[in-house]
Amino acid sequence: MTSINRRHIRTRLAVWFVALLAVVLLSYLGAACLLLLRDLRSQLVRHAIQDIETVEGLLYFTPQGQLKVRDDYHNHAGCHLLLERLMEVRSPEGNVLLRNEVLGSRSLGESLLPHEGEGGYSERESLMSDGMRIQLVSRRHSVEGHPTIIRVGYSQEPLWKQFRADLVALLLPLPGVLVIAGIGGYMLASKSLKPIQDLTRRASEINSDRLHERLPVNASDGELADLAVVFNTVLVRLEQSFEQLRRFTADASHELRTPLTVMRSVGEVGLRKHSTPEAYRDVIGSMLEEANKVTRLVDHLLTIARADAGQVQLHPLMFPAANMAQECASLFDVLLEENGQQLKVETTEDTMVCCDWLLLRQALVNVVHNAIKYTPRGGTISVRIRSEGDQVVVEVEDSGPGIPEDQLSKIFERFYRVEEGRSRGSGGAGLGLAIASWSIEIQGGTIAAHNNEGAGCVFTITLPAAKHVVSAEIQSKTNR
């Protein structure tokens, strides 16, 4: 049997169930006791009223003026369940005209209450001189033309005795009921929580090597099925993240190993041969070229690492987008001259953007460099800038072979290459577009690519216009 631990949910549920049931039962018993007490008092009042009506017809005055009760005075039916009545008859002035033997020399109140017994029966509780608490009923009657006030009282002791007996009878089974309810509640909670325990056990068995496994989903479990679906969704994201991390690590290792291997090979060959200083300079130049590739790759990896860690702080500035495009174009003058290519920047208006200059510059440089790599010798790369409502659109078009349609959605992934077999000299590490996508999206922009109908590919960058950003900031300050 499952051990009881107060920290367990099933234990707390059982305790809350028992506590709630106890409150409900005690509330019910309290209401029942109040109703029982009121009913017992009502019985006393009814008996007293019946006695008054009976006594009224049996009273008479003797020739000497004394008030008497005829000998045929008797108790009404059911009165044997109570103690004998206490009876007293007074004049309207308060003088005692008659007291029965049970009352003796005691009094049912020393003085009359204002308008006592007028227009109906006066009911009240009273305390006698000897400390006895009674239920008293009085009524004004005319006996042989003489106005009188008849008082009849009953001791409340039998009432409270009956009440205590009934209360004990109601409370006696309460502990047993609560114990049974607690056991039943604990078992019910354990049964209800068993699917959660099964999910917990299955989830604890899933580690980094078993992320492909999923929790069972049973539609009849209701909320537990929703929990399993959410957990499975988390597992899917974790599996994708782990797979992306593995692929990233493998690709980064592969990209680093290639230039390092080339550097080592070139160095070893250079050491084994006795060459001229010019040959050694060529060897050193080749090693430096590979070292530059490693440096660029490490810089890209550091940029991606900072992006994933959220450690990049934006420093937005307002500047013309055309100035940014012209600066990026000037960086490729030598490369364009070597390839016999042309880079055109077309803008029809002074479009202003509000972005981080360095991040946007890096993104645009990566996109333009990608266009130059895939544009054939003698081709043209176009950079067009225009405004569309509250956005600035930058298009970078090349005249290369384009990108297969089934790979357009993947080109912004890390280490992804459209052509797996192309040379690394022209292909790069496959991180430039991934960094460009991140740099643009972190500033509220978007980037997408599509093929031209003829030849070439167009990268479309959408950025928020400066006037739109400024108006949003003004609106935000106004709302504050």
Q: Could you give phi then psi for residue 276, rounded to 5 degrees?
A: -80, 165
* pLDDT given for residue 82 in this prediction: 42
Domain 208-312 belongs to what topology? Helix Hairpins (1.10.287)
CATH superfamily of 314-479: Histidine kinase-like ATPase, C-terminal domain (3.30.565.10)
Which helix H or strand E contains 326, and what residues bound it? Answer: helix 321-330
pLDDT reported for residue 474: 35
Report the candidate in 310, 308, 416, 397 with the shortest Cα–Cα distance to residue 346. 397
> Cβ(223)–Cβ(196) under 8 Å?
no
Distance of alpha carbon 316 from the chain centroid: 36
pLDDT digits 0-9 by tens, 54-100: 888 888 888 888 888 876 555 544 444 444 678 888 888 888 888 88
Q: Work out the number of other CB atoms within 10 angstroms of the CB of residue 156.
A: 19
Query: What are the residues facing 454 on neighbouring strands?
Result: none
- Tell me what pLDDT residue 23 has: 92
* Alpha-carbon dihedral angle through residues 5, 6, 9, 12, given to the nearest 10 degrees: 140
Residue 391 and residue 462 in contact, taking contact as beta carbons nearer than 8 Å: yes
The amino acid that residue 349 corresponds to is: E
Task: With a cut of 80, say whether residue 275 has pLDDT above it.
Answer: no
The CA-based angle 330-331-336, given to 5 degrees, is: 80
The residue ranges of every structural domain in the chain are: 11-171, 208-312, 314-479
Sign of CA dihedral 233, 303, 395, 321: positive
Q: How many CB atoms lie within 10 A of CB 116?
A: 18
Class (C level, CATH) for 11-171: alpha beta
Going by C-beta distance under 8 Å and a sequence separation of 6 or more, which residues neighbour residue 149? 89, 90, 91, 92, 112, 116, 117, 138, 139, 140, 141
Is 50 exceeded by the pLDDT of residue 478?
no
Q: How far apart are CA 478 and CA 480, in angstroms?
A: 5
Residue 211 phi, psi dihedral angles, 5° rounding: -70, -10
The pLDDT, as a whole number, for residue 77 is 47
Taking 70 as the threshold, does the pLDDT of residue 297 lie above it?
no
Type of residue numbered 184: G
pLDDT digits (tens, 9 = 90+) for 101-139: 788 888 887 778 888 888 888 888 888 877 788 888 888
CA distances from 439 to 285, 390, 430 (A): 33, 20, 15
DSSP string for residues in 122-185 = EEEEEE-TTS-EEEEEEEEEEETTEEEEEEEEEESHHHHHHHHHHHHHHHTTHHHHHHHHHHHH
| Backbone φ, ψ for residue 380 (5° rounding) | -130, 140
User: 386 with 351: CB under 8 angstroms?
Assistant: yes
Q: Which of 46-55, 192-201, 375-384, 392-401 has the lowest mean pLDDT?
A: 192-201
Question: Does residue 90 contact residue 148 with C-beta atoms inside 8 Å?
Answer: yes
- Residue type, position 295, single letter: T
DSSP string, 259-290: HHHHHHHHHHHHHHS---HHHHHHHHHHHHHH
pLDDT bucket at 417, cuts 50 / 70 / 90: low
- Are 330 and 343 in contact by the 8 Å Cβ rule? The answer is no
Secondary structure percentages of the chain, helix, strand, coil, to 5: 55, 20, 30
pLDDT at 469: 45
pLDDT band for position 27 (50/70/90)?
very high
pLDDT digits (tens, 9 = 90+) for 324-355: 888 888 888 888 888 888 898 888 667 888 88
**Mean pLDDT score of the chain:** 79
Cα 80 from Cα 102, distance rounded (Å): 15
Which amino acid, 306?
R
Contact (Cβ atoms closer than 8 angstroms) between residue 50 and residue 122: no
Do residues 185 and 18 lie in contact, with contact meaning Cβ atoms separated by under 8 Å? yes
209-218, 224-233, 324-333, 394-403: least confidently modelled range: 209-218
Q: Cα(303)–Cα(297) distance, rounded to whole angstroms?
A: 10
Residues 6+ apart with CB under 8 A from 133: 125, 126, 127, 155, 156, 157
Indicate if the pLDDT at residue 420 is higher than 70: no
Do 217 and 189 touch, CB atoms closer than 8 A?
no
